[in-house]
Amino acid sequence: MGRLFLFAGCGRMVTVTNAADLRAVLDRLVVERVDSAVAAVTREVAVYCFAQWTSGKFTWSRWQPNDVWSGQSRESVNVSVGSPDRSFAPDNPGDWPLHASPYGPRDPFEARFKLEGLAPYQTVFVSDNAPHAAKVEQHTQVAHMSAEFTRSHFQPGYSWAPIVTVSASVPF
């Protein structure tokens, strides 16, 4: 006669009679609950970082008091899955340093849209690939600050409850 194990998972009692059954129950729990939660959390962190980065100040010159330039660097912040998106927006030729940007403000829903269907444990990249991105970062630290704001926002104690809801039962 085999051993009898009881496994309480998400409020439901499941009777398991052997190690293979226990493994199957745990595998199903991970696939149905944990994996979707990991994807949701990854998506939320990437969208927040994108929003912080694209709303930061990209200029540093006294000739650009209102963060007015071509907008190329801000428009070149990309969100991608699996590998970095190396594309960048074209520059807007005009009189330096002040000329109107053809690019409007970035919308965090752009990032959310790109992350639809994100599988759990995939790597998400948020990057700026404008030709002068390193110079912008050197002077403004906009990427560094967005990373710090993101770390601070999701620090230990942050409640994921609105994002990740776990059902009261495991469907078997």
Residue 70 confidence (pLDDT) above 80: no
Is pTM, for the whole model, over 0.75?
no
Give 60's contacts (C-beta < 8 A, 6+ positions apart).
Answer: 139, 140
Confidence tier at 165 by pLDDT (50, 70, 90): very low
Which tens digits make up the pLDDT trace of 98-113? 666 777 778 888 899 9
Note the pLDDT tens digit of each residue in 71-93.
778 888 899 999 988 888 887 66
| Range with lowest mean pLDDT among 51-55, 57-61, 76-80 | 57-61
* 36 in Cβ contact with 120 (< 8 Å): yes
Query: Coil, strand or helix: which one is 51?
Result: helix
Mean pLDDT of 122-134: 87
Handedness of CA 80, 86, 89, 95 (dihedral sign): positive
**In which region does residue 71 sit, left (phi positive, over 0), alpha (psi from -120 to 50) or beta (all else)?**
left
Residue 161 has pLDDT above 70, yes or no: no
Q: Where residue 169 falls among pLDDT bands split at 50, 70, 90? A: very low
Of 36-40, 47-51, 107-111, 134-138, the poorest mean pLDDT is in: 134-138
Using DSSP bridges, classify how beta strands 12-16 and 5-9 pair: parallel, antiparallel or unpaired. Answer: antiparallel
Is 50 exceeded by the pLDDT of residue 115?
yes
Name the residue with higher pLDDT: 103 or 54.
Answer: 54
